[in-house]
Amino acid sequence: MYRSAMLTKELVAASTEPLVLSILSRGESYGYALIQEVKRLSGDKIEWTDGMLYPVLHRMEERGLIKSRWDESETGRKRKYYSLKKDGKRAMVRHHEQWSLVHGVLSGLQKEQYV
């Protein structure tokens, strides 16, 4: 489903939604910029198959997490901008809690191994 340099595709799939929500929580953005941003933040280690992002965005929109509007870019090109809705913000907080939990447990276990 996803092409990835370091992460397994299951992990990439599972992390797409929290990543998109978190980036959108900074302000509205569009498909291409979202992909570039994730690439940049992960040091090129999370690389989505570009086209796959759009169905994910559309599903999130259907579930009422985000909303979209068409507008024109500075260069006059049409773009579909996505932004966070209230439910999306809540979903993001939930994702953060869950990922932090997993992260906390894992790093605890990792420490044990080196003691």
Output the smallest distance, CB 86 to another protein, in A.
Answer: 17
In the chain, DSSP finds a helix count (H) and a strand count (E) of: 4, 3
| Closest CB 93 distance from another protein, rounded Å | 24
Structure tokens belonging to residue 48:
């989505």
**Is there binding between residue 86 and another protein (CB under 8 A)?**
no
- Say whether residue 14 binds another protein (CB under 8 A): no
R_g (Cα) of the chain, nearest Å: 16
Q: Which amino acid is at 23?
A: I
Q: Does 76 bind another protein (CB under 8 A)?
A: no
Residue 40 interacts with another protein (CB under 8 A): yes or no: no
Residue 10 in the binding site for another protein (CB under 8 A): no
- Indicate left, alpha or beta for 81 from its phi (over 0: left) and psi (-120 to 50: alpha): beta
Q: Does 111 bind another protein (CB under 8 A)?
A: no
CA–CA distance, 55 with 64 (Å, rounded to integer) = 14
Does 32 interact with another protein (rule: CB under 8 A)?
Answer: yes
Q: Which of 7, 79, 83, 89 binds another protein (CB under 8 A)?
A: 79
